[in-house]
Amino acid sequence: MRRFLTTLAIILVVVVTGMTALILLINPNDFRDYMVKNVENKTGYQLKIEGDLRWHVWPQLSILAGQMSLTAPGASKPIIGAENMRLDVELFPLLSHQLIVKSVVLKGGVIQLIPETQSQKLQNAPIAPAGTHVTKSPAESTASDWSLELSKVRIADSLLVWQRSENDIINIRDINLTLTRTDTRKADVTAKARINRDQRELSFSLDGGLNLNHFPQGLELAVNNLDYQLQGADIPVEGIQGNGSFNLAYLSSPPGMKISPLALTFNGNHITADISASLDDTPVYTLAVKADTLNLDQLFPPAVAKDNSEEGATTSAKETPAPVTSSANGLSVQPDLSFLQTFNAQLDLEVNNLVYHGVSASSVVMKGSNQQGNAVIDSLQAVIAGGAVKATGTIDVTSAVPKITVKPTMQNVALGDLLKTLNYPQTLTGAVTAQGTFNNVNSNINDFEKGWQGYAHINIEQARLHGLNIQQLIQQAASRSNSDVKGMEHYERYTEVKNLVVDTVFNQGQLKVTRMNGASELLTVAGTGVLNLPAKSCDMKLNINVTQGWQGKSDIVSLLQKSVIPLRIYGPWNKLNYQLNVEQILKDQLKGEVGKAIDKWLDKNKDKQESKDIQKLLEKLR
């Protein structure tokens, strides 16, 4: 037993001594030139490692390096830099001259995707003559006898700087990325990072697989699981969060990419999409999106109405207001649509059920295209508020001020629900059939009330003006003027017109009614007027003829049934005022009737002296 233990101890000492000697005899700096040369030969990038390489034995055999950088050919700045680099290697393969790196760890890395780090073609670069022999350095000659095998790459606590344009830079922070090789040119990917921009933060994590079989001509990325959350300014309190999966294929020549299928959830909504792009000088994008249910109120919650008890105070479902922006001339910043000039695109959108401001729309289909700033809405249609809505339009952003034209049509749409969607009081309801044309008048395209104009022809079936019964106003005013007539015993709290036809002209918040005609069993209405949309008020001048509901003396009733009563309705929509003078109308009507009767009697008795005396008296009175 003692001999066995002694033999075992001797073997262990020999092995440990041999391993220690191997590590001491192998200088890790012998690999420096080898790694630099291999990186340059395979990618053209220049790898720079500062300081000496050194072994680190416990708890993992590793090669430690100081600061490192990777620079593209002709670039003025490195595309990747790191505070330190660690290569975890396996011990026993060193005996057979194999450098198997289990993992490469970059700590505190900075990845810069900016113009200064992009590859540049060197002008007048010298070309070595054919057959020229390049002498290797001693360290490179020593390292060239080794073979390198890489198993894992890990980037920890790093930063990615991505400059898309001169004034558009995105910083992706706290990047933790791991690539684990599963085959010769395949790897598993796990990543986690966060993006801060405009007082908003997007954090995400993903895992998937990377296929480099066709690299550098192309690569494929399959993301099995993506989790994300967006929070910050102008975002709902609970944020926008969800998960997804997608397959991405990229080609370098001709440059292009395809994401298909993309499955994404956010706040309980689920969409699928196919995206493809040709990334030439003028990119061409094709986007097809489908969704079963899409609730936009979960992304853009409607603001809660103001509380009268606290003047000017409002509450909303948003925790943080949108970022404060300004322009040189002090005007509010409007959306910059000039980006449409930089690409061509085709969009197909299908949503089975859409919810916005509590109003549901179904069978939403949109088809559109863009040709370098000339965008066309070929068709937009939906079933909304019990009716059908369709629209076409054009967007031209090739000039300083964009030119937008929209031509909507609707059929049997519930007007009350439409007003609710537009955040207006539901003072007028009915089934609307309409068609019109609208276009912007300035760059203030965000505000329909201030930046748009157009016209529309509107037909409203079963129109109801809530809170005001015009028949009641007129009949009660008539009964106060003349006790021989009265109206109905009971009135509704609204005015109903079975068919109301309206022609309108809209200009920056002022809706001018150029013609209005309507009729019901009880009355007829005609008139003109103006609706002030920003102030939510109106000033309408109507001519009303109440044909039914009169009671009393037949001659007075007959007179009133033939009378056209001027009525002015004005003031805020939720508190309408009216101006009505039935008494004067009745006096004028009665005066006219009496005058007609006298003239008729005089005509019959014109030869009599009494008739002549009355005629003279009337002439004096006139």
Instruction: Write down the pLDDT at residue 189.
Output: 92
SS3 495: strand
Instruction: Write down the pLDDT at residue 29.
Output: 78
pLDDT in tens, 523-582: 999 999 999 988 889 999 999 999 998 888 888 788 888 888 898 989 998 888 888 877
DSSP code of residue 73 = T
Residue with more model confidence, 540 or 603 = 540
pLDDT beyond 50 at 145: no
For the chain, helix, strand, coil in percent to 5 are 20, 50, 30
Element (H, E) at 248: strand 240-252
Q: Which of 490, 432, 428, 496 is nearest to 461 (CA)?
A: 432
DSSP code of residue 45 = P
Query: pTM above 0.75?
Result: no
Residue with more model confidence, 142 or 534 = 534
Instruction: Write down the pLDDT at residue 141.
Output: 44
Q: What is the C-alpha separation between 248 and 45, in angstroms, rounded?
A: 25
Residues of the chain above pLDDT 70, percent: 76
Of the candidate ranges 63-67, 385-389, 617-621, the one whose mean pLDDT is the lowest: 617-621
Residues of the chain above pLDDT 90, percent: 31
pLDDT beyond 70 at 522: yes
Q: What is the C-alpha separation between 293 and 353, in angstroms, rounded?
A: 5
Instruction: Write down the pLDDT at residue 440.
Output: 92
Of the candidate ranges 3-12, 240-249, 254-263, 399-408, the one whose mean pLDDT is the lowest: 3-12
| Residue 432 CA: distances (Å) to CA of 365, 409, 459, 474, 509 | 21, 10, 6, 27, 20
Contacts of 254 by beta carbon, 8 Å cutoff, 6+ apart: 278, 280
pLDDT beyond 60 at 315: no
Give the gyration radius of the chain's Cα atoms: 41
**Amino acid, res. 37:** K
Instruction: Write down the pLDDT at residue 138.
Output: 44
pLDDT in tens, 189-226: 999 999 887 788 899 999 999 998 887 788 899 999 99
Average pLDDT for 279-283 = 86
Contacts of 465 by beta carbon, 8 Å cutoff, 6+ apart: 427, 428, 494, 495, 496, 497
Question: How many beta carbons lie within 10 A of that of residue 15, not counting itself?
Answer: 10
Q: Give yes or no for a cis peptide into 59 (omega within 30° of 0).
A: yes
As a whole number, the mean pLDDT across the chain is: 80
| Residue 147 CA: distances (Å) to CA of 38, 277, 575 | 11, 39, 87
Average pLDDT for 81-97 = 74
Average pLDDT for 450-461 = 93
Q: What is the C-alpha separation between 270 and 292, in angstroms, rounded?
A: 7
Instruction: Give strand ranges (E) for 508-617.
Output: 510-519, 523-532, 537-546, 551-552, 565-572, 577-579
Question: Which residues make beta-bridge pairs with 286?
Answer: 276, 346
Most confident among 54-58, 234-238, 284-288 (mean pLDDT): 284-288
Most confident among 121-125, 373-377, 572-576 (mean pLDDT): 373-377
Instruction: Write down the pLDDT at residue 236.
Output: 81
pLDDT in tens, 22-74: 555 677 777 777 778 877 887 778 888 888 888 777 667 777 888 888 888 88
pLDDT beyond 70 at 585: no
